[in-house]
Structure 1
């Protein structure tokens, strides 16, 4: 800790994906001493394409990173829907399943690219501790002492849990995740593959009609050099402890998709060695309060909307802006800042979480039946109504 750090302004952030680095940027700018701890040995590779839309576009612009985000956008031209035999049933250049309407200023970007840009924006003023995590927290009247898994101990004024839907920080302070996690239907597997489908800034939605192996979304990324491959699974036993092992997760996907045709056998081959493979079930996080004492939650750790809301990244970026701004406005008084942060954001977060339930099928992407029936326009198949964007755009950033 810098010896001249003002009282109340020593902040530890757990998590170096999106919410954590975004908050670190703002707090460093406002004169706080910021440390970010991340259990991975470095910035995590891979991950799905994510969306910066609506109010979050303004937050990115205020950070000065919007142009760089656009340089690394997926820049898709459109999508096609394929039936179980691999035949195209629908095509559009109006929208994509993963990014929404293409006539908006929203940015779809790979999660690892966004994380790298946000960390870079924070500069050398932010301290990063990789390959470590919080092991224990001991809150005292004037500070909170942190024992790290690596053995060191340090004191901070504030601890922020920005470590995702399965937040360890949240479990230390608010109890087991079962109290706060609300499962949604379906599991999703994601990995990177070479562009063996020769897609040109395009996305394919392959629908099997099987609820237990519902289909695949494949999209070209990084100037068509790679594919991001997504597969959906239903009927997965969330209590199966074996499925915490990535190899067991891959075996489950392979078993479920063994009967599927089209290009799935070839895409599954790349799953086995993919260094960025990820698998998880749909879920939301709901808490009565986002803070307790000197600990506060940000982004998915506090109010995950699930991928089907399409708003997890945007809520993280906007949440980071508001939390940092309220800490600045309160001059480090965490009680006042945390109260104002939640008061400012709670209604908008609740509205965003409700977006995940707007379709009886798979959220933003509509149902397989809707897609197979070749709708009249992209909004019908993707369920991208004006009401959806009224929520994503419906929060005004204050000046701090």
Structure 2
């Protein structure tokens, strides 16, 4: 088999999933991760439809279910804090929901024996040569690999090095997201609350054990500039944008001061003509980064499975495997991009009138028989990609 030494950038979800399947198919994997260790906590991610298949094939579904959030309904509140609708768990949490950090740990534990993990380092250059890719790192010595996989998220360093600057592919929506952990002063028990004022959305959901909550903030703010690595600046921006809103926001802002896990980013998408170039391939958000409602974690894991399967089926020949990988995953990736394109205005409607209109639509959508139809539509989107049995495929 050819091209057996593979470097993967990113140790979150897509990276360890790719390592899992590549290891099983006889490849040698190294995963490099900029963070000094696995990232704990994080927002919840869910799986539904065909996305469940990748967990089953990995033999990890039972373990994921042991760590699932067990979330119940998400209650939609009006401007006075009164409940006006309830999102059922099967809509908001899929068939199984788990905190990103818990899933990350499960995937790491399933791959650490067969994969070389390098934390606290990152790729600084990629030079393709006739028989591989010469790679330099911020701290480690230069090395040579047969193939490189970018699984390093929305702001992928591998994509920038191999495909070009992010600005070439990035489509901004005008919306942003901030997420952090806070004490559960509301006493939520496997439930969540959704509250809006114009151009500002707040979602608070209990975490397993109910001692803390995940806080998700969606907001529209034109011309917002910030340093992606300056957490203090990001906290200041959130305080300024959410000051004076009322409801439970003052206590949540107090909790933000002590939060050590703030995630802050723009809601943007990546639109690439190709997900592979030469000896480099992109999976998950590094390749398309659809955003909320775009298939996210489930599709990232499925794409990693497909890439490993196509490489194995082609005997490691990337010139055969990479085009087949793109053919398989592109319809699902483009469906996700389309589905998530209007996530910002849905999560943070710009006016009071539009907030009330959305809330009225919630009342209708979450009643039978419309609920069943809506759930079938959600599963249909998740089923755009079906997984082959690559044990039976050989090109």
TM-score by length of 1: 0.90
* Partner Cα separation in structure 1 for residue 347 and residue 339 of structure 2: 7
Match of 2:65 in 1: 70
Q: Residue 147 of structure 2 aligns with which residue? A: 158
Q: Give ranges in structure 2 of 5+ residues lacking alignment.
A: 391-395
Q: CA RMSD in A?
A: 2.3
CA–CA distance in 1 between the matches of 2:254 and 2:372? 29
Q: Alpha-carbon deviations, 1:200-253, whole Å to 9, x = none?
A: 100100122x21xx1310000113132000112112425x24565221111111
Does the C-alpha gap of structure 1 residues 303 and 242 become closer, same or farther in structure 2, counting only changes over 3 Å? closer
The yes-or-no answer on 1:22 pairing with 2:17 is yes
Q: Equivalent residue for 1:125? A: 114
Task: Describe the SS at the equivalent of 1:259.
Answer: coil
Preserved CA contact (<8 Å) 1:308 1:362: no
Give the SS at the match of 1:362: helix
Contact 2:331 2:384 in 1 (8 A): no
Q: Which position in structure 1 is the counterpart of 2:47? A: 52
1:386 is aligned to 376
- 1:183 has 2:172 as partner: yes
Q: Which residue of 2 aligns with 1:287?
A: 272
Shift of 1:376: 3.0
For residues 41-97 of structure 1, give each alpha carbon's deviation from its aligned partner in whole angstroms, at most 9, with x where no partner exists. 00112321112222121011100111111111111111211122222222354555x
1:360/1:268 CA distance change after superposition, 3 Å: closer
Shift of 1:353: 1.6
Give CA deviations for 1:271-326 in whole Å, capped at 9, x if unaligned.
Answer: 122111001111111111111111111110001111242x1101101101100000
2:218 and 2:348 in contact (8 A); partners too: no
Distance 1:364 1:77, change over 3 A: farther
Q: Give CA deviations for 1:362-392 in whole Å, capped at 9, x if unaligned.
A: 2799963344336234277999453332121
- From 308, 313, 322, the counterpart of 2:306: 322
Q: Deviations over 1:15-58 (max 9, x none)?
A: 00100000000001111110000000001123211122221210
- Equivalent positions of 1:178-257 (< 5 A) are 178-208=167-197, 210-211=198-199, 214-238=200-224, 240-242=225-227, 245-257=230-242
Preserved CA contact (<8 Å) 1:356 1:364: no
Following superposition, the deviation at residue 357 of structure 1 comes to 3.2
What does residue 351 of structure 1 align with?
Answer: 335
Q: After TM superposition, what 4+ stretches of structure 1 lie above 6 angstroms from structure 2?
A: 363-367, 379-383
Q: In the TM superposition, what are the counterparts of 1:61-100 in structure 2 within 5 Å?
A: 61-93=56-88, 95=90, 98-99=92-93
Q: Secondary structure at the match of 1:50?
A: strand
SS in 1 for 2:258: coil
Structure 1 Cα separation of the partners of residues 35 and 2 of structure 2: 30
> Which of 225-234 and 355-364 deviates more?
355-364
- Report the equivalent of 1:334: 318
- Looking at structure 2, the residues matched to 295 and 382 of structure 1 have their Cα atoms a distance apart, in angstroms, of 42
Over 3 Å counting, the alpha-carbon distance change for 1:365 and 1:386 in structure 2 is: farther
Task: Verify: 1:312 aligned to 2:296, yes or no.
Answer: yes
* Structure 1: gaps spanning 5 or more residues: 1-5, 101-105
Q: Give the one of 281, 288, 300 matched to 1:303.
A: 288
Q: Secondary structure at the match of 1:237?
A: coil
Question: Which residue number in structure 2 is paired with residue 376 of structure 1?
Answer: 364
- Tell whether the 8 Å contact from 2:331 to 2:385 is kept in structure 1 after alignment: no
Paired residue for 2:28? 33
TM-score scaled by structure 2? 0.91
**Counterpart for residue 388 of structure 2:** 398
The residue aligned with 1:103 is none
Q: Is the 8 A contact 1:330 1:336 kept in 2?
A: yes
